[in-house]
Each structure stands twice: as C-alpha cells, then as structure tokens.
A and B are shown apart, each in its own frame.
Chain A
Amino acid sequence: MNMQTKPPRTQAEQALLDSFAEKVGQLPGDAKVTIARDRLLSAITEAGLPTRRIESWHYTDLRSLLRGVPGKSGGAARALEPLVSGTVVWPVVQGVAANPSAPEGVELTPFMDLLASGEAAGMLAARGADDLIGQLNGAFAEDGYSFSVSADQAIEEIIELQSVQAGGQVHNRFVAGFGSRAKATVIERHLGHKGESGLSSSISTLEIEDGAEVTWIILQGRGESDQHLGQLSARLGADATLKLFVINAGGKLVRQEVHVDVAGEGAHFDLRCVNLLAGDSHTDVTLTLGHAVPHTTSKEIIRNVVLGRARGVFQGQIRVAKEAQKTDAQMACNTLLLSDEGEFAAKPELEIFADDVVCAHGATVIDIDHTHLFYLMARGITDKSARALLVNGFVDELVGELENEDLVEALETLIEQWLVDHG
C-alpha cells in the first residue's frame, strides 16, 4: 500500500497562511477576486511550497530555501530618484501604487482599481500547478499598475516602475499592453532598504501587438536579506520585438521567471541577463520560451559574476513547435566564477519539433584571463582595479547593447558600484 503522507508545514508555509488569514479582509477585490485568491491560496496549502522534486524548481528548493516570512507590513519606505534622471517614475511604495500622470498616448490605471472592480479577477490565475509565483502573487496581489500604449505611439520618455520595499511583504502586479507599432522603454525596478528583510513577489504581463518594439529592463536591487520572486510573461505578435534586460544585483533568495510566447511571424525576442551574485545568496533565472510560428528569432545571453558563497541557476527552456520552421534561437550562459565556494548551474533545454531550424546553446565557466590581467597591470593598474575592470567588462558588453546612452551609463555606474561594494 502506498500511503501519501503530507510533510508537516514549514514555518514559512504556516506564516504565509497566517498572513493571508490576517490580511484577507483588507485585500482589494470584489467577490470574484476573493474567490480567485482563495483558490490560489488553497493550491499552495494543498501542495506546499515546491521542492526539488518539482522539475521547474529542481535547483531552487523553495521549501527549504524560503525562510522567515515577515508579517505584511514593513518599515517606512519612500520612492527614490529615477535611475535615469528626467524620466517618468510610477512608484509602488511598500506595495501601494500612487496616482502619477502618464505621458501622452499612455493610459494608466492603478492595479488596485482593477481588483476592486473585479476586472482583474481573470488575471489572478496560475500558469500551472507548479506556478508558485503566480499562486502567491495572485493570492496576495494588492497593487501595481496597468497601462497601455496606443497603437503607433512612440514613447520617448523612459517609464520607470519603481517598487520600493522596507521589509514586510509586497506583492505587485504590472499589466502592460503595447498597441500595434508602438514603441516604449520600461524599467521595472525593485529596491529594498537596508536592514529590514522582506518578501516580495512581482508579476508583469506584457501583451505586445504586431510590429511593436518594447525594451523592458528588470533591475532587481532588493536588500541583502530580502527574498524576491519575480515573473514576467510576454506574448509577441507578428513582427513585434521584445528586448528584455534582467539585472539581478541584490536579494538573498531570488527567483526571476521569464515566460515568452513568440506567437507572431517575424517576431524577435532578446534576453540579456546579468547576474551579480555575492554573499550567500541564491539567485535563479528561469526562462521558458516558445516559438509557435514560422520565421521567428530569439537570442539569449546570460552573464554571471559569482563571488563569495553565492549560488546561481539559469534554466532556459526553448520549445520550437512543429509549425515553427525557420526558427533561429540562440542561447549562451557565461559565468565568471571568482570564488571557489560559489557556484552556478546552467540547464539549457531545447525541445525542437520542427526540422528546418537553427538552434544552439552553450554554457561556459571562466576565471579572470591572466593575459588580460597582466596587460592591464603592465600599464600601472593595480591588481584590484584591473580585476574590477575585467569583471566590469565581462558584463558591460551586454549593457552596451542598449540604445539609450543615459541608460547605459546609469546601468554601468550601478554595476561598477556593486562591484566596488562586493569586490
């Protein structure tokens, strides 16, 4: 006989249930929303937090890694200056959005309003049984922004979605629509305060219509003891382009999922990901990418810098459907391992059902190149600065691909500062 006994609840699981019980009455939403929340929470209660036995969580055993779920409320947080000066900031402070103005051609609504009216009920669904982030965020989602860029609108200004957290729990939602041939650059920036440890989840959903061009930057800079669970889902129409940059430079336990559906012919998806890992943090970037139709392309480059006892994971799954002939999909994961105690696991996975495609993936782990180091030092640059230059160069190559020079400069400064702080 095979009796399935459920393992006892972990402290974190119990704390999640407790905080739901405590908060449920105050979470925004109509009856439909409440039902959706309950359903998602019971999915977590039933299955428990995912363990390594769940394939998509194999390298991030959340059940053992998620520690110390804080109560809902945290300390006092406040919005910061935008990453690129002069850009539009839409703040979400300690989980709560404001009422900022939007540039011409953009319609903006706080997500809380959509919950209250019940419009968001349909958005509170998990992607599948293993979608812990969808379940958690859907159960607790409180606020964020929903916005849409009209067709043919090119938004010159960068839009910064700025989520600031000082401990406690924060669960954000961003819903973005880009009309046909629209153009926009959006920064999704997650910031933490020192000291207080927080738990956050954040889901962004992008609908990119035919011919639209979107640059989306996820800049995760939560505090050293924060736990952050992020997810971005995007669907690309015909000839649409999504350039996604992910920079992880913070947090103690981080998982960033990216789910992209390249659904229209001629569409292109780019992922550039920089993981700056230090201390005893655990950072997981998980990508699922579907090429569903012919003549689409994608390119993913992941660069990791690993210091201390940090652990990193990249899972990249590319599915090419039977119909999706002439797909060109390239994936590379390069790690600069600067510590014997650090590690990075890369798991590329290609599922190709079409026969006329070009798909490739590669993973490398390297150390500082000694010839490079000698050359720099022979010019009077000290060992420490020379190493910093080389590490910077390793990741700057990706950042340099961005078109906006102010943005490139801001990100380079940020990376440099991270290396100074942790090097």
Chain B
Amino acid sequence: MLEIKNLHARIADDGTEIIRGLNLRVKAGEVAAIMGPNGSGKSTLSYILAGRSDYEVTEGDILYNGESILELDPSERAAKGIFLAFQYPVEIPGVATMQFLKVAMNEQRKARGEEELKTPDFIKLVKEAAGSLQIDPAMLKRPLNVGFSGGEKKRAEILQMKLLAPKLCVLDETDSGLDIDALKIVSDGVNALRAPDRAIIVITHYQRLLEHIVPDSVHVLYQGQVIKSGDKSLALDLEANGYAQIIEAAA
C-alpha cells in the first residue's frame, strides 16, 4: 500500500536535510510501528506523507497504491485516503469544530464523486463516533481544538479519523498526553479500524501503546533513515535496552 524508496527531504527554507535515504514498505492490513529517538525525523516523515510544503523531497519517491503522491497537495492526498493524526493538533479559533467536520467529510466525498451528507445523517455519525471515544458533545461546539486539553486534542484527532475512514492512517505520538483510561479508549478506537484494506502507521516512544495496538512490524528511525526493522519483539527489546546498541550496530 505504501512504499517509500530512498527518500531524501530537506527543510524548504534553509535546505537542512532531515530525511536521508529512507526506505519503508507497509502492506494493506498491516500495522507498522515507527520508533526512534527525539529529533530522528519521525514527525517530519509524517508531514511529508501528508504533503506539508515546508519540506522538499530532493530524491526518491513515495508510492501509494503504486502511484507517486509527491505531486499531490495535502487535500488531494487526504481525499485518496491518507490521514495524519498530528503530534500537536492545531488550534483554529473562529472555525467551529462541527462545521469543520462537515466540510471535511463533504469535500472528501465530493472529491471521490460521492453525494454530500445530509445534516441529520452527519450529526448522527458524529454523535456515534464521539460517544464511542467518550468525547463530550459540548467540546464539539467549541472552535476547532481551541482550549482542548492535550488528551482531548488527541481524542479529537481519532474522532476525525473515524469519521473520515481513511485507508492509510499515520498516528504521530497519539499516546502522548493520554491518561491510562483514554489510552485504552483511543487504542480500542484504532483497533476497530484495523481492516484488510487499511494500513496503520503508529509513531510512538512507548511499548505501552503497542500492548494495546499490537504491531505487525516495528521500524527504528535514526537520523532520517530506517536503521532496523523487525517484529513486535523489537519494541520490547528497545524498551529494555534503549537505542544505543542498534545505533552502534548500524554505524
């Protein structure tokens, strides 16, 4: 489903290279975990997948279902089913959460040639999804993410993911800021989305999340490259021994 080939990318502004020859394959139905020390390029990779223009791809390619997505803007990628749950969801004053959700859902439908949702159907969908994530409906009356607590923001990201039902989900540290109960609720939400035609990439620092969302593969990112891949036992190994050995072995 996703194939990243020898990807090199730099910050558009100052030319600093962050991603330095990264390779990664994720199959449909797979849950892949990406781990790696702070500053190794995990969020940058997720932004590049989503199409953020602050980064420039200088070499390599990203294939999604066999096609390069490098030329697509973020909204086109989203319409094709790519979703990024942000490490730091953005507060947007003045834009009501419900209105945002409705516009997003309908624009994606439009881009796929589907009919727009009727308001009652839309409200029903949101209520159900919010209920399953134990999101207070009052929160949805507020401007998008404004004044949401850290954990509420993360839940709101998963709510969006549920409603938009993407095919490739990238979750950037969705576990950070969640309390123990919320971690369970959110993980259940993500697990419910596991499907043969859907791939999920979980970026995390902690094994704890991977106990809830059990990955099929684990990849270690360091200085903009995948330096080691393995199965779920790799995460346990990292938890016990840290990154030092792996980094040394790769050097």
The answer to whether A binds B is yes
Q: Which residues of A does B touch, CB under 8 Å?
A: 370-372, 374-383, 385-386, 389-390, 392-397, 400
Minimal Cβ-Cβ distance residue in A for B109: A380
A393 to B95, Cβ gap below 8 A? yes
Of the candidates A372, A380, A396, the one whose C-beta lies within 8 Å of that of B90 is: A372
Classify the interface of chain A: helix, strand, loop or mixed. Answer: helix
CB distance from B79 to the nearest CB of A (A): 5
Bits for B42-53, please: 1 = Cβ < 8 Å to A, else 0: 000000001111
The reply to whether B111 and A380 form a contact with Cβ atoms under 8 Å apart is: yes
In the complex, residue of chain A having the shortest beta-carbon distance to the beta carbon of B86: A375
Distance A386 CA – B143 CA, assembled complex (angstroms):
15
Number of B positions contacting A (CB below 8 A): 31
Give the segment of B33-41, B100-108, B195-203, B224-232 that binds chain A.
Answer: B100-108
Bound complex: CA A383 to CA B77 (Å): 12
Number of residue pairs A-B, CB distance < 8 angstroms: 83
Is B73 in contact with A385, judged by CB distance below 8 angstroms?
no
Q: Known: A378-B50, A379-B160, A381-B103. Contact between A389 and B95, CB under 8 A? A: yes
A377–B103 CA distance with the chains assembled, in angstroms: 11
Q: Once the chains are docked, how many angstroms separate the CA of A247 from the CA of B77?
A: 38
Q: Are A385 and B107 in contact (CB under 8 A)?
A: yes
- Contact at B90–A397, with CB atoms within 8 Å? no
Question: Is there contact, CB below 8 Å, between B95 and A377?
Answer: no
Chain A residues near B51 (CB-CB < 8 A): 377-378
Q: Which residues of A sit under 8 angstroms from B164, Cβ to Cβ?
A: 379-380
> For the complex, what is the distance from the CA of A379 to the CA of B74, rounded to whole Å?
8
* A393 neighbours in B (Cβ, 8 Å): 92-95, 143
| Distance of A385 Cα from B75 Cα, bound (Å) | 10
Q: Closest 10 CB pairs between A and B?
A: A393-B94, A380-B78, A377-B74, A380-B108, A379-B104, A393-B95, A375-B90, A377-B75, A397-B94, A378-B74
The CA of A320 and the CA of B91, in the complex, are separated in Å by: 37
What are some 5 contacts across the A-B interface (CB < 8 A)? Answer: A379-B164, A383-B75, A390-B94, A395-B94, A396-B95
Q: How far is the CB of B102 from chain A (nearest CB, A)?
A: 11
With A377-B74, A380-B108 known as contacts, the answer to whether A385 contacts B90 (CB < 8 A) is no
Minimum CB–CB distance for B108 against chain A, Å: 4
A392 to B100, CA, bound (A): 12
Q: Is there an interface contact between B94 and A396, defined as CB atoms closer than 8 Å?
A: yes
Q: Is B84 an interface residue (CB 8 A)?
A: yes
- Chain A residue numbers with a CB within 8 Å of B84 are 378
In this complex, the member of B84, B89, B92, B160 whose beta carbon has the largest number of chain A beta carbons within 10 angstroms is: B92
Who on chain B is nearest to A397 by CB?
Answer: B94
0/1 per residue, B200-229, Cβ < 8 Å to A? Answer: 000000000000000000000000000000
Contact A376 B92 (CB under 8 A): yes
By the criterion CB–CB under 8 Å, are B73 and A383 in contact?
yes
Q: In the bound complex, do residue A380 and residue B75 qualify as a contact, i.e. CB atoms below 8 Å apart?
A: yes
Cross-chain contact of A381 among B75, B77, B90 (Cβ < 8 A)? B75
Q: Mark B17-60, 1 if CB is under 8 A from A, else 0.
A: 00000000000000000000000000000000011111000000
Given contacts A376-B100, A379-B104, A380-B107, contact A392 B75 (CB under 8 A): no
A380 touches B94 (CB 8 A): no
Q: Is the CB of B95 within 8 A of A380?
A: no
Interface-centre pick from B73, B74, B143 (highest chain A CB count, 10 A)? B74
* Closest residue on chain B to residue A384 by CB atoms: B75
Report Cα–Cα, A382/B75, bound state, in Å: 5
